[in-house]
């Protein structure tokens, strides 16, 4: 398969992709139409922060299975569009944390001691010793905005250098903050207390412009460090606060627009020191993130779970072998149920009984939903099926019970609306032999395969013969069948495996017979 890599990643990642047999195409300058063209036959796409992966990219990429982000921030990837197109987005959330934290610490020292400014003057032959009187970090207060992986690492490092730590992060627990020696406060308090404020949030609609003029006023004559994302800090307000001498200094690794334009006001002030988004640029970090991303792309391309998928149901790698055999039968049960229901699907319930109830089944439920929607939608997979359910206003419930009546593990998919409900149960015989064992309450033993017909009829002599002869007349060969009935003389249900599609005339002819209650032709190969 083809993996397109549009930002430079370490060779270790490229080698891992090639070793898995993929064709790797690198295109580090690709944009616009060239990017759309290059991605049109790609199965995997790997980016860093330099590529905007927009809806247009997903529209152009019919074969795309996964976008791997060799790093943390995914603000350059339209994840909603990825989900709509059934494409997994996965990042590498661990590999560059230390590098980003070390860079932040370096930037704190660099701004506090004016290292870049003094360096340039000395290179220019000027011994400007008396112009620089720096600030010590020891004994000062560090305000951390966003106490996630990087924020915590920075807090730990600067705590050990004698700083007091206050942090603002509405999504982490007091206990977590305390464990790393940080006091959780609100944003205002963190700004007021901080001598150095460091930003470590993702860029989201909520964090965009989080640090603007008012917040910088609260920081007063402190230092601001941003090695997270450009848009979190208002650059014009920052430049103005440095210009008017309010802020002592700032150190920025990231910018709202990258590469930073040469006429940015941020470049006009010596007190604002800048690096070109170097936080993750260490050999170790790049090797880590490239390897982790390549592994995830390789996994996705063979249908295995993706460890850090951001928009797909996740499965713990160690649990996957136990869950994997149920993925297909869940999808099949969903497909059969959806095709048997009369009218619109309003609810889907997926029930797990027995051993399978002990497992993390998020992916299996998503596969059942894939089965439910596949007869109705073109591009549905386990990534976008939950979203499709939400978009269509379909209520999805999942339930588990450790008790199983007749099977070691049983998966039931029920689709329903106000007027009707159909339940299809599936299991695995001998560990891996998929079977449909109940349809709408009837015990059957059907091998889910290709094309099937489900008939409901009164239980009386000659009906099966009638069905067989009508099928035969229309050239439909019956490959297998399983018949079940409520009670002698009551209603019966028969599942047939057939070798070809059942023409409408055959269905009509059967439906004309008063002994036939219903005939459903079901295909397990995508759309009906």
Ligand X SMILES: O=C(O)C(=O)COP(=O)(O)O
Ligand Y SMILES: NC(=O)C1=CN([C@@H]2O[C@H](COP(=O)(O)OP(=O)(O)OC[C@H]3O[C@@H](n4cnc5c(N)ncnc54)[C@H](O)[C@@H]3O)[C@@H](O)[C@H]2O)C=CC1
What residue ranges bind ligand Y (CB under 6 A)?
A: 72-73, 93, 96-97, 100, 145-151, 168-172, 200-202, 206-207, 210, 227-229, 253-254, 277, 279-280
Active site residue: 56, 189, 243, 258, which one? 258
**Alpha helix (H) residue ranges in 419-493:** 463-473
Q: Which positions ≥6 away from 215 have C-beta within 8 Å?
A: 187, 191
The CB-of-48 to ligand X minimum distance in angstroms stands at: 3
* Closest by CA position to 227, among listed 201, 257, 259: 201
- Token pair of 11, please? 């060779």
**Which residue's CB is nearer to ligand X, number 96 or number 332?**
96
**Which residue's CB is nearer to ligand X, number 155 or number 280?**
280
- Return the C-alpha torsion angle 82, 86, 413, 464, nearest 10: 160
**Alpha helix (H) residue ranges in 220-361:** 235-243, 283-301, 320-340
103 lies in the binding site for ligand X (CB under 6 A): no
The CB-of-233 to ligand X minimum distance in angstroms stands at: 15
Annotated active-site residue 258? The verdict is yes
Question: Alpha-carbon distance 99 to 164, whole Å?
Answer: 22
Question: Alpha-carbon distance 498 to 477, whole Å?
Answer: 6
The CB-of-299 to ligand X minimum distance in angstroms stands at: 20
Phi first, then psi: what are they for 320, rounded to 5°? -55, -45
**Which residue's CB is nearer to ligand Y, number 111 or number 381?**
111
Active site residue: 277, 349, 353, 435, which one? 277
Tally DSSP H helices, then E strands, for the chain: 17, 22
The CB-of-398 to ligand Y minimum distance in angstroms stands at: 27
**Which residue's CB is nearer to ligand Y, number 275 or number 417?**
275
Residue nearest to ligand Y (CB): 148
231 lies in the binding site for ligand X (CB under 6 A): no
Give the pairing of strands 272-274 and 249-252. parallel
198 lies in the binding site for ligand X (CB under 6 A): no
The entry of ligand X, ligand Y, none that residue 172 binds, CB within 5 to 8 Å by partner kind: ligand Y
**Which residue's CB is nearer to ligand Y, number 86 or number 231?**
231
What DSSP designation does 527 have? -
Range 53-92, binding ligand X (CB under 6 A): 71-73
Annotated active-site residue 229? The verdict is yes
The entry of ligand X, ligand Y, none that residue 48 binds, CB within 5 to 8 Å by partner kind: ligand X
The CB-of-445 to ligand X minimum distance in angstroms stands at: 52
Question: Alpha-carbon distance 67 to 304, whole Å?
Answer: 15
The entry of ligand X, ligand Y, none that residue 352 binds, CB within 5 to 8 Å by partner kind: none
- Number of neighbouring beta carbons within 10 Å of residue 425: 25
The CB-of-96 to ligand X minimum distance in angstroms stands at: 5
The CB-of-449 to ligand Y minimum distance in angstroms stands at: 45
164-168 sheet: strands from edge to edge: 182-184, 164-168, 141-145, 196-199, 223-226, 249-252, 272-274
Active site residue: 43, 48, 229, 435, which one? 229
Dihedral sign for Cα 270, 271, 277, 280, please. Answer: positive
Among 280, 444, 476, 495, binds ligand X (CB under 6 A): 280
- Token pair of 516, please? 């036939």
Residue nearest to ligand X (CB): 71
Helix axes 283-301, 11-19, angle to 10 degrees: 20
Give the pairing of strands 272-274 and 409-416. unpaired
48 lies in the binding site for ligand X (CB under 6 A): yes
98 lies in the binding site for ligand X (CB under 6 A): no
200 lies in the binding site for ligand X (CB under 6 A): no
The entry of ligand Y, ligand X, none that residue 506 binds, CB within 5 to 8 Å by partner kind: none
Is there a contact between 426 and 436 (Cβ–Cβ < 8 Å)?
yes
Size of site (CB under 6 A) for ligand X: 11
**Which residue's CB is nearer to ligand Y, number 150 or number 471?**
150
- Return the C-alpha torsion angle 398, 86, 374, 317, nearest 10: -50
Among 51, 83, 96, 298, binds ligand X (CB under 6 A): 96
49 lies in the binding site for ligand X (CB under 6 A): yes
The CB-of-171 to ligand Y minimum distance in angstroms stands at: 3
Residues involved in catalysis: 229, 258, 277
- Which residues sit at the interface with ligand X, rule CB under 6 A? 48-50, 71-73, 96, 277, 279-281
């Amino acid at each position: 398969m083809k993996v397109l890599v549009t930002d430079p990643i370490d060779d270790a990642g490229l080698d891992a992709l090639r070793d898995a047999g993929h064709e790797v195409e690198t295109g580090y300058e690709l944009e616009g139409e060239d990017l759309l063209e290059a991605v049109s036959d790609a199965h995997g796409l790997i980016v860093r922060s330099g590529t905007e992966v927009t809806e247009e990219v997903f529209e152009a990429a019919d074969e795309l299975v996964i976008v791997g982000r060799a790093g943390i921030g995914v603000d350059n990837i339209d994840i909603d569009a990825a989900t709509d197109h059934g494409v997994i987005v996965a990042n590498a959330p661990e590999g560059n944390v230390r590098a980003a934290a070390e860079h932040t610490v370096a930037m704190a020292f660099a701004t506090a001691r004016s290292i870049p400014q003094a360096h340039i003057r000395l290179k220019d032959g000027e011994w400007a010793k008396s112009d620089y009187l720096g600030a010590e970090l020891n004994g000062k207060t560090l305000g951390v905005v966003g106490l996630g992986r990087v924020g915590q690492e920075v807090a730990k490092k600067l705590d050990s250098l004698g700083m007091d730590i206050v942090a603002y992060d509405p999504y982490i627990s007091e206990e977590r903050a305390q464990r790393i020696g940080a006091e959780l406060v609100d944003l205002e308090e963190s700004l007021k207390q901080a001598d150095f404020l460091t930003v470590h949030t993702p860029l989201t609609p909520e964090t965009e412009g989080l640090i603007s003029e008012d917040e910088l006023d609260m920081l007063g004559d402190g230092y601001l460090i941003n090695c997270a994302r450009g848009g979190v800090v208002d650059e014009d307000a920052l430049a103005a606060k440095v210009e008017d001498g309010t802020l002592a200094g700032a150190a920025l690794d990231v910018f709202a627009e990258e590469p930073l334009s040469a006429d940015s006001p941020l470049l006009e002030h010596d007190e604002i020191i800048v690096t070109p988004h170097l936080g993750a640029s260490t050999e170790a970090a790049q090797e880590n993130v490239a390897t982790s991303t390549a592994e995830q792309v390789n996994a996705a391309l063979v249908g295995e779970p993706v460890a850090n998928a951001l928009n797909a149901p996740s499965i713990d790698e160690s649990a996957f072998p136990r869950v994997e055999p149920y993925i297909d039968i869940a999808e099949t049960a969903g497909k059969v149920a959806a095709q048997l229901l009369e009218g619109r699907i309003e609810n889907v319930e997926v029930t797990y009984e027995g051993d399978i109830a002990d497992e993390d089944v998020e992916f299996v439920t998503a596969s059942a939903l894939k089965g439910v929607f596949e007869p109705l939608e073109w591009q549905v997979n386990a990534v976008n099926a939950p979203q499709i359910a939400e978009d269509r206003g379909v209520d999805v419930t999942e339930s588990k019970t450790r008790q199983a009546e007749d099977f070691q593990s049983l998966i039931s998919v029920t689709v329903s609306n106000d007027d009707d409900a159909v339940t299809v149960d599936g299991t695995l015989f001998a560990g891996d032999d998929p079977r449909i064992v109940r349809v709408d309450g009837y015990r059957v033993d059907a091998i889910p395969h290709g094309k099937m017909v489900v008939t409901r009829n009164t239980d009386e002599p000659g009906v099966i013969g009638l069905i067989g002869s009508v099928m035969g007349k229309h050239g439909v060969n019956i490959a297998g069948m399983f018949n079940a009935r409520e009670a002698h003389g009551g209603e019966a249900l028969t599942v047939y495996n057939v070798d070809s599609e059942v023409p409408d005339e055959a269905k009509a002819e059967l439906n004309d017979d008063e002994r036939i209650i219903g005939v459903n032709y079901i295909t397990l190969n995508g759309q009906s």
